[in-house]
Amino acid sequence: MKSSNVRDSQVPCSEVLRDVRYEIRGQLANHALDLEKRGYEIISLNIGNPGLFGFRTPETMRLAMIENLGQAEPYCHQKGIFPAREAVVMQQQNRGIQGLSVEEVFIGNGVSELIDLSLRALLNPGDEVLIPSPDYPLWSAAVALNGGKAEHYRCDPENRFAPDIGHIESLITARTKAIVVINPNNPSGAVYDRGTLQNIVDLAEKHGLVVMADEIYDQMVYDEAEFIPMASLVRNTVCLSYSGLSKTYRACGYRVGWCVFSGDLERAADYIHGMELLSALRLCSNVPGQWAVQTALGGFQSIEPLVTPGGRLHQSRAVVIERATASDYLHLQRPMGAMYAFLRLDERFDGKFDDQAFALELLENHHVLLAPGSSFNTPYTNHFRITTLPDTDTLNAVFDRIEACLGPHA
């Protein structure tokens, strides 16, 4: 018989989770839920979730899914249905990426699952992956969960959040397996120019690194910014490109993403086999949503009128830029892509009001939920991220509350 002290003790979670953070849905978000249960109305800007802000999935995608529900009841191939993978291949070909077939395309339950699968298929314990700082924290978490070590390369605010190429090279060791590039970037909104991307590719090819290009915001760019697919530059190493329906097509709940292998496909053969094995172990990804992919990629790109002047996303971003510029307490590098703004607190708050304390006070006293910048694996604690999805009236109200929160601490 087990002793009572053993029987009464807590069941500990895995030690692997000690290195895993995902504060976007962490303690602050849980506190916001508690406040809502007590009757407070919270403006939640911590997650880029278009459907919560009135954005609808294009009707043609909904109809494509509904009309094919009868074919969506069985499991499909572990890589995904053929029409969806074929549509992804055609999109890649239209972007100048040649030599692909449906065999190099994997459909997953969102990009999140594919990030996990592709790292699991690649990493051995102790292998290193270069990840930007700030990052989307799922990348760092997934590396840790799969036995790897995240090494963060600088994308400093003073350099408009562009990758520091010299710092990247200084981090490369014999254990470095891959480099992650998030473009357009979450959380900063930076969109990288061709020269920056080519410099990263040159380093990856020189050192034999796998390039992992997170491009979920690929068509969400503003003003003069140009999205350049990473795979169009890679020739002599393996490239994985990730995208999906969640953001550009406002279909987060469909949970449909894709990962495309390109570049040196001969070198990728064993890696692809590993991905196939892991995909088969989970049987397949959500089938109904896959039927929307062909219609999404082949039809009218409804994101374009939203991000051009006069479009709702463009207008909301403009309000954020205007209010940050007018503020005595905030600074902002103009976001050129995605659906976020990564704002900096003025120097007057240094040492007395960091991002965590600010976020907590803003939530408790002004009922606005945002994500502290340190949640994105930054060495500094003076930034915070908001989504630019709300309408202009809501965003103006948010900035009024931010000003009211910061004023007494100035």
Residue 342: CATH number of its domain: 3.90.1150.10
| pLDDT exceeds cutoff 70 at 4 | no
Residues 309 and 267 in one domain: no
Query: Is 322 found in the same domain as 260?
Result: no
Q: Are strands 149-154 and 43-44 parallel, antiparallel or unpaired?
A: unpaired
Q: Which residue do the tokens 């997934």 mark?
A: 142
How many angstroms from the chain centroid is the CA of residue 141?
13
Q: Are residues 265 and 318 in the same domain?
A: no
Question: For position 210, which CATH number holds?
Answer: 3.40.640.10
Helix H or strand E segment including 122: helix 110-122
* 235 touches 264 (CB < 8 A): yes
* Count of domains forming the chain: 2
Same-domain check for residues 20 and 125: no
Residues 231 and 136 in one domain: yes
pLDDT band at 2 (very low <50, low <70, confident <90, very high): low
Among 263, 298, 333, identify where a domain stops: 298
Query: Do 116 and 225 belong together in one domain?
Result: yes
Query: Before 187, cis peptide (omega within 30)?
Result: yes
Place of tokens 């699952």: 113
Digit-coded pLDDT (tens) for 130-149? 999 999 999 999 999 999 99
Q: Mean of the pLDDT values across residues 320-327?
A: 98
pLDDT tens track for 354-369: 999 999 999 999 999 9
- Is the distance from CB of 335 to CB of 317 less than 8 angstroms? yes
Q: Rounded to an integer, what distance in angstroms lies between the CA atom of residue 234 and that of residue 198?
A: 8
Environment class of 196 (CB within 10 Å of its CB; exposed 0-12, middle 13-18, buried 19+): middle
Query: What is the rounded average pLDDT of the residues 211-235?
Result: 97
User: How far is 1 from 3, CA to CA, in rounded Å?
Assistant: 6
Considering the domain architecture, whether residues 137 and 229 belong to the same structural domain is answered as yes
Distances (CA, A) of 118 to 6, 60, 76: 39, 31, 20
**Cis status, amide bond into 134, omega within 30 of 0:** yes
Q: Which residue has the tokens 């040196």?
A: 264
Taking CA atoms, 152 is separated from 16, 179, 209, 343, 353, in Å, by 19, 10, 15, 20, 25
Closest CA relative to residue 394, chosen from 405, 402, 406: 402
Show which of 239, 267, 298 is a domain's final residue. Answer: 298
81-107: b (≥16 Cβ within 10 Å) or e? bebbbbbbbebbeeeebeebebebbbb
Is the pLDDT at 20 greater than 80, yes or no? no
For residues 106 and 65, what is the distance between their CA atoms, to the nearest angstrom? 19
**How many CB atoms neighbour CB 278 within 10 A?**
17
Is the same domain home to 311 and 240? no
Mean pLDDT of 375-400: 96
Distances (CA, A) of 364 to 29, 36, 211: 12, 11, 42
Q: Are residues 123 and 256 in the same domain?
A: yes
- Cβ(282)–Cβ(108) below 8 Å: no
- Chain segment 100-126, per-residue pLDDT in tens: 999 999 999 999 999 999 999 999 999
The stretch 233-259 carries a mean pLDDT of 97
- Domain residues for the domain of 324 are 4-55+305-409
Tokens of 294: 């062909």
Average pLDDT value for residue range 82-111: 96
Q: Are residues 289 and 223 both part of a single domain?
A: yes
Helix (H) or strand (E) holding 130, with range, is strand 128-133
Give the separation between CA 154 and CA 108, rounded to whole angstroms: 30
Per residue in 248-296, pLDDT (tens digit) is 999 999 999 999 999 999 999 999 999 999 999 999 999 999 999 999 9
Same-domain status, 23 and 147? no
The pTM is what? Answer: 0.94
* Average pLDDT over every residue of 186-204: 98
Percent of the chain beyond pLDDT 90?
A: 91
Confidence of residue 7 (pLDDT cuts 50, 70, 90): low
172 and 130 share a domain? Answer: yes
**Residue matched to tokens 């029409």:** 83
Residues near 161 by beta carbon (within 8 Å), at least 6 away in sequence: 134, 155, 185, 188, 189, 190, 333, 342
How do 210-214 and 238-244 pair as beta strands? parallel
pLDDT band at 9 (very low <50, low <70, confident <90, very high): confident
Q: Which of 298, 327, 357 is the last residue of a domain?
A: 298
Order of strands across the sheet that contains 330-332: 330-332, 340-345, 383-387, 371-372
- Lowest-confidence segment of 17-21, 219-223, 359-363 by average pLDDT: 17-21
178 or 11, higher pLDDT: 178
Segment 196-199 long-range contacts (CB within 8 Å, at least 24 positions apart): 196/162, 196/163, 196/165, 197/228, 197/230, 197/233, 198/233, 199/165
Contact 127, 144 (CB under 8 A): no
Strand partners, 194: none
